[in-house]
């Protein structure tokens, strides 16, 4: 166990284990830039740890120093002199020969909605309106059925039969169509937010959401106000998600 | 106070957007959960986490979930062998059907659901009991055949794979579907016996090609298999709907799958309800179905391998105008998938052109694009009755600072796009567009090019100078990422104006002229590192 007590071995182990955990322990894989930031933090922390007092620092430096100067470590020294330059050369090769990748498209997925929108000449208060179809629970099933028809005739091609964003046109579009089964989409949004997104589509997005890339049509041209509420009702019904509720007024 | 939706920025950006990155994982449920089918919470077992969801937002597995996952793992192991057909419960199948299938196939199973009129091929009419995909010598499919179609979907059509549904649901659906035409399923299906498999070889492919012509596959599927045979226009299915022959160069769209057995089975048993007959008695020897299979698989690549970035290669010397020149055809293409335009009316739900293969080069003066796409009908275009065939490359007219660019669907009133456009009968021209129907040719077009059509395929070369003469056209510079998008029209399929296939924005990049950097840099780095290390060792030894 004396090996594990060596400051140097401890430091190397901490760095290696952190890297393994960050690189292979996270699903989906974290981007390289994130791993780099975390690794920099880990290395700094390790350096602080080994230099906490001068004894510790000497213990950390001792194996390094002896590799550099001890006559009986000559073979290790030579191996380092061969292996490290080769590794660096290989790294330089991978960098120089790398094929460029398309730059990522950063965008706000759920931007803040406007307070109100104009829908065919009528003002709709996005920050305050509730789904009017939910007022009459008896008629809700009819609305869900009507919403299903609207969905399958208009939305299915991108958002998919299964409402999972995997319709048959989905692979061609970037950003990909929203996956309504995902707890990060309609489940965290209010119904009025959906009304805005459906009515105004891509052209109604703010710039941080790259309106020029999105294939979402502005459905106000094709669907009536009631039809949009019907399809919203269907989305929640078919996925089993609950719309986010408004906070109670104080 | 109203809660405000907070802006959330994707983690990996568009990295997962084109299907190349990690897609959402779907957690299959344990079979015990099936009893809930029909309730309002039926869907909570389907897709759980989307591609853009940071990992910490994913639901934590609960104890029940872990047990469910274990059961699934065990059942997956059990199903690794040939999955045994199960008797389904038609009543339970009814509930799944109403929720998942009725939208297209109709509540009565007659293929008349609300979406039916928009879909081509039309949704299956179950009341006839006629099924395309079957592994039997008789007219009825086995339960396993129906199960497989539900599980894998019908590639190239609107029927998606329903593998997200638990096995039990799918078996229940099989039972329910059979109930639409019970008399058809009275007799046990007769298993089709395929001859012994013949491995692919040059000899077998040659023999397959002979058979392909001998039994007149080319009449519908075309000489090169691109679905452009002379009988194409007359083909109708049993319901009288026009039906297109399969494009044999794109096996990933084969309805019953592209495995060797699947293809040989389709040839031997035919595709019921369509003009594709059984050929097992027409071929000279039964094993010819395998030679045909080998020939068909030799016609195209096994997968489209779609590109995410279009690299323009640097060349020296002249760039040939001839689209058939070996200069072009020996280069590896970047395949770009095209989708139907379903944003502006009239919409195109069934696009004819689903892929374009792009090769691009530049020299010190000009940039050239070589485009290949399948189109079963050549249209003469301008000056004739027929709608023209066309293809366009779209760029923002000016490089923009930041991510802003014109609307991908050919710009809008405020932001125009630049088009490098070819149209049959007109040739190549430069144009500006402020929307899909607002095209204005640019005066003094500097673009040139030529298209050739043969055996259901266009090859086109379009060229223009690297530099821009004015503000309406972009300039191309090495090592800069330029947005690019594609649009295509098949006049023969009635496509014109907004009825088109298109892509969203991709990136194009002119690679730097061939450099030897990658061979020079590594040795220099290694030698410098060695020198520095030697210095450190020397200093250390002198000090001690």
Contacts of A186 in chain B (CB under 8 A): none
Residue of A nearest to B8 (CA): A108
Query: Which pLDDT score, from 0 to 100, does residue B22 have?
Result: 36
Sign of CA dihedral B380, B385, B391, B397: positive
Q: How many Å lie between the alpha carbon of A131 and the closest alpha carbon of chain B?
A: 15
Per-residue pLDDT tens over the stretch B470-506: 889 999 999 899 999 999 999 999 999 999 999 999 9
Q: What is the DSSP string of B434-487?
A: SSTT-EEEPSS---EEEEEEETTEEEEEEEEESS-SSTTS----BT-EEEEEEE
Tell if the CB–CB gap between A96 and B408 is shorter than 8 Å. no
The answer, as to whether pTM is greater than 0.90, is no
Backbone angles phi, psi at A142, to 5 degrees: -60, -45
Q: Is B350 on the interface with A (CB under 8 A)?
A: no
Cα of B63 to nearest chain A Cα, Å: 20
Interface test with B, best of A25, A143, A169, A204 (most B CBs within 10 A): A169
Give the mutation candidate from A29, A166, A174, A235 for the B interface (greatest B CB count, under 10 A).
A174
CA-based end-to-end distance of chain A: 63
Pairwise CA distance, residues B422 & B372, whole Å: 13
* 8 A C-beta contact, residue A217 and residue B343: yes
Report angle CA A9, A11, A16 to the nearest 5 degrees: 90
In the block, which residue shows the tokens 């739900």?
B349
CATH class for the domain made up of A116-239: mainly alpha
ipTM: 0.78
To the question of domain B202-298 being in CATH 3.30.110.40, the answer is no
A245 CA: distance to closest CA in chain B (Å): 8
- DSSP helix/strand/coil, B394: strand
A220-228 long-range contacts (CB < 8 A, ≥24 apart) are: A220/A119, A220/A120, A222/A154, A222/B345, A223/A150, A223/A154, A223/A198, A225/A119, A225/A120, A225/A122, A225/A124, A226/A133, A227/A146, A227/A150, A228/A195, A228/A198, A228/A199
pLDDT in tens, chain A (250 residues): 577 888 899 999 999 999 999 999 988 888 889 999 999 999 999 999 999 999 999 989 888 888 888 888 889 999 999 999 999 999 999 888 888 888 888 889 899 999 999 999 999 999 889 999 999 999 999 999 999 999 999 999 999 999 999 998 998 898 999 999 999 999 999 999 999 999 999 999 999 999 999 999 999 999 999 999 999 999 999 999 999 887 765 5
- Residues of chain A with C-beta less than 8 angstroms from the C-beta of B104: 152, 161
Cα-Cα-Cα-Cα torsion B244, B246, B248, B249, nearest 10 degrees, comes to 60
Residues of chain B contacting residue A185, judged by C-beta atoms under 8 Å apart: 50
Neighbouring CB atoms inside 10 A of A11's CB total 16
Are B390 and B422 a contacting pair, CB within 8 Å? yes
Q: Return residue ranges of chain A for CATH 1.10.760.10.
A: 116-239
Looking at residue A124, what DSSP letter applies? Answer: E
Confidence of residue B30 (pLDDT cuts 50, 70, 90): very low
Give the chain B residue whose CA is nearest to the CA of A90. Answer: B522
- CATH topology for the B309-510 domain: Immunoglobulin-like (2.60.40)
Domain ranges of chain B: 1-81, 202-298, 309-510, 519-544
- As a whole number of angstroms, the distance between CA A203 and CA B232 comes to 40
What is the C-alpha R_g of chain B? 28
Q: What is the pLDDT of residues B295-314, one digit of tens each?
A: 999 999 999 999 999 999 99
CA of A29 to nearest chain B CA: how many angstroms apart?
Answer: 9
- Find residue B373's DSSP bridge partners: B458
Is the minimum CB–CB distance between B541 and chain A shorter than 8 Å? yes
């Amino acid at each position: 166990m004396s090996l594990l007590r060596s400051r140097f071995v401890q430091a190397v182990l901490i760095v290696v284990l952190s890297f393994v955990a960050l690189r292979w322990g996270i699903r989906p894989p974290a981007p390289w830039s994130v791993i780099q930031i975390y690794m920099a933090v880990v290395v700094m922390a390790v350096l602080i740890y080994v230099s906490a007092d001068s004894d510790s620092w000497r213990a950390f430096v001792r194996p390094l120093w002896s590799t550099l100067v001890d006559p009986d470590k000559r073979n290790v020294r030579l191996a380092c002199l061969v292996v490290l330059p080769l590794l660096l050369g290989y790294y330089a090769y991978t960098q120089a020969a790398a094929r460029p990748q398309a730059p990522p498209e950063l965008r706000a997925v759920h931007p803040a909605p406007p307070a109100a929108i104009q829908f065919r000449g009528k003002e709709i208060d996005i920050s305050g309106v509730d789904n009017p179809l939910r007022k009459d629970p008896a008629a809700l099933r009819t609305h869900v059925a009507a919403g299903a028809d609207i969905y399958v005739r208009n939305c299915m091609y991108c958002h998919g039969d299964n409402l999972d964003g995997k319709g048959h046109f989905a692979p061609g579009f970037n950003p990909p169509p929203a996956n309504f089964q995902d707890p990060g989409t309609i489940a965290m949004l209010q119904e009025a937010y959906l009304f805005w997104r459906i009515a105004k589509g891509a052209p109604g997005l703010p710039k941080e959401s790259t309106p020029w890339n999105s294939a979402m049509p502005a459905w106000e041209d094709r669907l009536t106000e009631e039809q949009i509420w019907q399809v919203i009702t269907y989305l929640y019904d078919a996925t089993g998600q609950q719309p986010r509720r408004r906070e109670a007024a104080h | 106070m109203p809660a405000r939706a907070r802006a959330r920025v994707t983690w990996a950006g568009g990295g997962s957007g084109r299907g190349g990155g990690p897609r959402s994982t779907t957690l299959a449920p344990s079979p015990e959960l099936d009893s809930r089918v029909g309730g309002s919470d039926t869907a909570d077992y389907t897709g759980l986490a989307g591609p853009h969801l940071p990992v910490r937002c994913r639901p934590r597995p609960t104890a029940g979930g872990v047990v469910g996952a274990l059961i699934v793992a065990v059942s997956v192991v059990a199903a690794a062998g040939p999955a045994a057909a199960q008797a389904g419960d038609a009543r339970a199948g009814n509930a799944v059907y109403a929720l998942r299938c009725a939208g297209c196939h109709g509540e009565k199973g007659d293929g008349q659901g609300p979406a039916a009129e928009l879909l081509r091929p039309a949704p299956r009419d179950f009341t006839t009991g006629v099924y395309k995909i079957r592994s039997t010598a008789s007219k009825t499919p086995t339960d396993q055949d129906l199960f497989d179609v539900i599980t894998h979907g019908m590639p190239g059509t609107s029927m998606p794979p329903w593998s997200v549904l638990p096995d039990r649901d799918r078996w229940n659906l099989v039972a329910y579907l059979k109930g639409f035409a019970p008399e058809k399923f009275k007799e046990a299906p007769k298993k089709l016996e395929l001859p012994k498999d013949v491995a692919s070889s040059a000899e077998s492919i040659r023999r397959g090609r002979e058979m392909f012509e001998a039994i007149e596959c080319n009449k519908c599927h075309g000489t090169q298999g691109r679905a452009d045979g002379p009988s194409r226009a007359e083909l109708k299915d049993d319901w009288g709907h026009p039906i297109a022959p399969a494009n044999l160069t794109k096996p990933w769209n084969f309805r019953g799958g592209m495995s060797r057995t699947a293809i040989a089975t389709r040839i031997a048993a035919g595709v019921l309800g369509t003009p594709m007959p059984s050929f097992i008695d027409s071929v000279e020897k039964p094993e010819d179905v395998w030679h045909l299979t080998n020939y068909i698989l030799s016609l195209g690549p096994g997968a489209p391998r779609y590109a995410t970035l279009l690299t323009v290669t640097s060349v020296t010397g002249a760039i040939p105008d001839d689209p058939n020149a070996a200069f072009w055809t020996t280069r590896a293409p970047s395949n770009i998938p095209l989708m139907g335009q379903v944003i502006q009316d009239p919409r195109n739900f069934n696009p004819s052109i689903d892929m374009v293969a792009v090769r691009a080069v530049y020299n010190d003066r000009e940039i050239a694009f070589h485009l290949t796409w399948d189109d079963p009908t050549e249209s003469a275009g301008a000056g004739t009755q027929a709608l023209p065939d066309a293809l366009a490359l779209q760029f923002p007219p000016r490089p923009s600072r930041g991510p802003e660019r014109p609307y991908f669907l050919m710009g809008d009133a405020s932001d125009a796009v630049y088009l490098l456009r070819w149209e049959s009968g007109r040739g190549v021209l430069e144009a500006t567009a402020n929307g899909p129907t607002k095209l204005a040719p640019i005066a003094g077009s500097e673009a040139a090019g030529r298209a050739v059509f043969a055996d259901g395929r266009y090859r086109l070369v379009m060229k223009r100078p690297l530099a821009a003469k004015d503000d309406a056209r972009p300039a191309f510079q090495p090592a800069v990422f330029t947005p690019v998008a594609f649009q295509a029209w098949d006049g023969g399929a009635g496509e014109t104006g907004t009825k088109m296939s298109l892509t969203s924005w991709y990136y194009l990049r002119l690679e730097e002229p061939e450099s030897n950097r990658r061979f020079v840099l590594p040795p220099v780095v290694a030698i410098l590192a060695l020198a520095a290390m030697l210095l450190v060792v020397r200093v250390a030894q002198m000090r001690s």
